[in-house]
Amino acid sequence: MAYQREMANVEFDRWSASYDRSILQDWLFHPSHESLLSQIEPSDQRLLDVGCGTGQFLVEALRRNPQLTAVGLDLSMKMLEQGSARFQAFADRLQAVRGDSEQLPFADDHFDVITCSHSFHHYPRQAAVIAEMHRVLKPGGKLLILDGLRDTWWGWFIFDVMVTWVEGGVHHCSSSRMRQLYRNASFNDLKQIKKKWFVPYLLTVGAAHKMARIQPRPSVAKAA
């Protein structure tokens, strides 16, 4: 059966109570968050984290970057509830929103940077999500997608065999497929960081290219 959004909701509602104590926090999530954190710059003001879970990455990003304000969006209400103490501790700079990555409830050209950590493989329509991320980024805004790297045989075994056995038909993109998705959605200046061993991960970085909007010229009244 094709992977459905509702399957992610059920999985993470169920996992939420023990998520922060999972062995994956030490093996995968925390080490890979470091590579994401290293990409946030002092000029970044507004950050959106899509699939934010219990907010561990977000509060670390806010702690290290005092200029940032952030929104965390997640499909699973129970993941957000599990992180509520964290969200509360940064309430003046952080908002948690329940929503779907395919329909981001934000205005066009709003964020300087979007992060998405270990969530992208759950999206049934990945191209539609990247297009939506492009819409809400400011011109030149950065998209940082972090997910398991399946390019090597070891990564393939972990993510395509083991993870799909546990989670169902999720899809980890190869690094070339990820570059193609970014390019198709008008991202440029692409860069990829790959960690290939133990629990491998891939971080893809791109800048949103947007055409300048053409302002209609005021009509010039003909001289009588």
Positions 124 through 143 that interact with ligand SAM (CB under 6 A): none
Among residue numbers 40 through 59, which ones bind ligand SAM (CB under 6 A)? 51-53, 56-57
Reported as half-sphere exposure (CB side, CA atoms, 13 A), residue 172 has a value of: 26
Residue number of the CB closest to ligand SAM reads: 53
**How many residues of this chain interact with ligand SAM, rule: CB under 6 A?**
20
CB 192 within 8 A of CB 204: yes
Q: What is the DSSP letter of 55?
A: S
Cα separation, 80 vs 222, whole angstroms: 61
Secondary structure (DSSP) of 78-135: HHHHHTHHHHHHTTTTEEEEE-BTTB--S-TT-EEEEEEES-GGG-S-HHHHHHHHHH
Nearer Cβ to ligand SAM, position 144 or 207?
Answer: 144
Would you count residue 159 as binding ligand SAM (CB under 6 A)?
Answer: no
111: contact with ligand SAM by CB under 6 A: no
Nearest approach in angstroms of CB 188 to ligand SAM is 25
Residues 64-83 contacting ligand SAM, CB under 6 A: 74-76, 79
Tell me which residues touch ligand SAM (CB under 6 A): 5, 8, 12, 29, 51-53, 56-57, 74-76, 79, 100-101, 117-119, 122-123
